[in-house]
Amino acid sequence: MFDDMIRHPATWLEGNGTEAEIVLSARVRLARNISGLRYPPIAQQEDREKVLAYAEDAITYGKDFLKGRLLYVNDMDIIDRDFLIERHLVSPEFMQNASARGLYIGPEEKLCIMINEEDHLRIQAISSGLTIEDSFDEASRADDFLSKRLEFDFDDEFGYLTSCPTNVGTGMRASVLIHLPGLVLTRDIENVISRITKLGLAVRGFYGEGTEVLGNLFQVSNQTTLGRSEEDIIESLGQVTNQIIDYENEAREKLFRDARDQIEDKIWRAYGILSNARILTSEEVMNLLSAVRLGYGMGVIKDISLNVINELLLFSQPAHLQKYLKMKMGAEERDFARAKLVRQKLAKSVASG
Amino acid sequence: MFDDMIRHPATWLEGNGTEAEIVLSARVRLARNISGLRYPPIAQQEDREKVLAYAEDAITYGKDFLKGRLLYVNDMDIIDRDFLIERHLVSPEFMQNASARGLYIGPEEKLCIMINEEDHLRIQAISSGLTIEDSFDEASRADDFLSKRLEFDFDDEFGYLTSCPTNVGTGMRASVLIHLPGLVLTRDIENVISRITKLGLAVRGFYGEGTEVLGNLFQVSNQTTLGRSEEDIIESLGQVTNQIIDYENEAREKLFRDARDQIEDKIWRAYGILSNARILTSEEVMNLLSAVRLGYGMGVIKDISLNVINELLLFSQPAHLQKYLKMKMGAEERDFARAKLVRQKLAKSVASG
């Protein structure tokens, strides 16, 4: 399974959706809980196992749509777990406790379902570019299929019930992973984040809540799940995202107009270091790739595909690197192997570009 | 003349002498003063003009050996002057006052004679690599030819008389320009400099006395001119230089043994930045070229010639850059043009390597 995943990078990495140069991916997740069973934060082992068994049954029953595979966290070693976190298929929290936790992964990784995370089920769909509707459709279809065998806790007044009150209602979190180097360089990012926050959206780092911003990648998501329809939330996130894209493009135009040489210098130096360095940390790769991605977006670097930039972003992460090279490595070995992989992929990209 | 110099870089840049990878060049200069004329620090305009006329006559008379050209500082604009300083043919002091100052430059720039610098004549010979004897022979032959028409102040007890007492005796300063990145990286350089100094030699920066060390390039020269023969001074400088080369090679072996990845990373990053940057200051070029030169010396970078590294070291200097591109430029324009030139020369070097 994992080897397959390495060979066929996730669909959301293809860089072919709408606005895919700035918006890496759109994601929708639905929180659902099965009636009559205690919610994960207070569940006994027995409850958790029931949830897992019920979910497994519902997935099997829905196999016309749910054609992927079910994995168990218990079967995974630490690298597998980190691999899935890096791939943005699961939350870091999900991997901290293996007990009765299952993970369904659909074909091309468009869909996944975490079983016994904070809620009984977390249905997630992810797609490349500004494609929130696509992800919502995918997640909704999964929800429909699961509902055929499972009864979810639903309150007529509140909507779906969840472990944490912030998810009650639609149980939905829609988000985009968006690359904003222009706004960071012009130092307008703080203003933009503050404006987004006032509109009721949250801005987070690369790996979600409480994580650092790396490579100028931001996750923007809805805060509110209650009192609004799914369609309303998605429309509003789409509008705000389009607004952010406009701001980012304005920032890039401004940079190109006022500091073109400096920006091109920054972009090409990043490219030069990535193509030549012998030691690279994953953090440095993310920051350098950010500049190369900006270069691609501004038409400065042409001999490279967005696909390769996205792939490198993922494959330079520690667990991906070890899976890809099929060996366990310490931090120093990884930095060396990472630099080699980056050089090879870039050389190949340019040669075939 | 200057255009010719640009088209045919100086012989000492060819990087083909003994130990040329570590020792860029060896230089010998002889200070001579014409009897009966006041020495430059106290000379009247009349004296200075006589010196220039006499020197011109002696050079013309010695044309069997002195086949080069005589230039006048008065005819040179500021870029020409800086150009000659950058080329290490004249001292910065020489260019600060143009009055009756002449400069003879021999074929391939192996020899030059400053007229009315601190002494009436400063005969300088420069050659590639650890070739102090070659430079001494060249300077001595020029001295012999000039002596046919000029009578130099010579005291039976002291030897040649000079404006500054530190030059009395042989009037000779022999020096090597030596690249010591290994010793800088292992932090042994301070010890080595202190040892050299105790042996009666001086260590200076790239442009001589009082100048900064750039690109890990050091000038090592004799301090003493009195009470020792020329041969003795040259032999002693040669021995010390060989000792320094041994220290440098030991430092490189140590680095290769203990921190190979880190060193290779440093070297390749420098190469990557030089090959890709859009803005480069001359100082940064010197420091990055230092790493690339180390890479060449350690066999890490193979597709490059020492010649190109030496050329870039020189041609990235402000006046060389402007001469080469045939345009006057401000600092920002130069940084941009410099980066372009470096990219082109490196790409050509690799393509033909």
A239 touches chain B (CB under 8 A): no
- For residue A217, report the phi and psi dihedrals to the nearest 5 degrees: -100, 125
DSSP codes of every residue in A236-297: HHHHHHHHHHHHHHHHHHHHHHH-HHHHHHHHHHHHHHHHH-S---HHHHHHHHHHHHHHHH
Number of neighbouring beta carbons within 10 Å of residue A162? 24
User: What pLDDT was estimated at residue A8?
Assistant: 74
Of A273, A275, A278, the CB nearest to B261: A278
| Structural contact between residues B143 and B109, judged by C-beta atoms closer than 8 angstroms | no
Residue A61 touches chain B, beta carbons under 8 Å:
no
How far apart CA B338 and CA B316 sit, in angstroms, is 6
Q: Does B279 touch chain A (CB under 8 A)?
A: yes
Phi, psi dihedrals of residue A115, rounded to the nearest 5°? -110, 125
Separation of first and last alpha carbons in chain B: 30
**How far, CA to CA in Å, does B36 sit from each of B39, B57, B150, B169?**
9, 17, 11, 18
The two three-digit tokens of residue B238, written as one number: 């040669």
- A96's CB contacts (< 8 A; 6+ apart) are none
3-state secondary structure of B266: helix
Query: What is the per-residue pLDDT across A161-212, written as a single tens digit (0 to 9) for each?
Result: 999 999 999 999 999 999 999 999 999 999 999 999 998 899 987 665 556 6
Q: Tell me what pLDDT residue A12 has.
A: 78
Catalogue all structural domains in chain A, each as residue range(s) with its CATH number.
Answer: 2-248 (3.30.590.10), 252-352 (no CATH)
Contact criterion met (CB below 8 Å) for B336 and B281: no
Question: A279 vs B262: CB contact, 8 Å cut-off?
Answer: yes
CA distances from B137 to B9, B159, B222, B230, B282 (A): 22, 19, 17, 11, 34
**Alpha-carbon separation of residue B192 from A285, B121, B143, B178, B203 (angstroms):** 38, 33, 34, 13, 10
Q: What is the pLDDT of residues A3-26, one digit of tens each?
A: 778 877 777 777 788 888 899 999
Q: What's B152's DSSP letter?
A: B
Using one digit for the tens of pLDDT, what is the confidence trace for B234-247?
999 999 999 999 99
Distance from CA of A259 to the nearest CA of B (A): 12
pLDDT digits (tens, 9 = 90+) for B265-313: 999 999 999 999 999 999 999 999 999 999 999 999 988 888 899 999 9
Can you give the length of chain A in residues?
353
ipTM of the complex: 0.89
Give the pTM: 0.90
Residue A278 to residue B172: CA distance in whole angstroms: 46
Sort out which chain A residues have CB atoms less than 8 A from B262's CB and list them: 279
Three-class DSSP labels, A78-141: HHHHHHHHHCCCCCCHHHHCCCCCEEEECHHHCEEEEECCCCCEEEEEEEECCCHHHHHHHHHH
- pLDDT at residue A227, rounded to an integer: 84
- Is residue A353 scored above 60 in pLDDT? no
- Compare CB distances from B268 to A264, A268, A276 and report the shortest one's residue: A276
Write down the pLDDT at residue A157: 92
Backbone angles phi, psi at A79, to 5 degrees: -70, -40
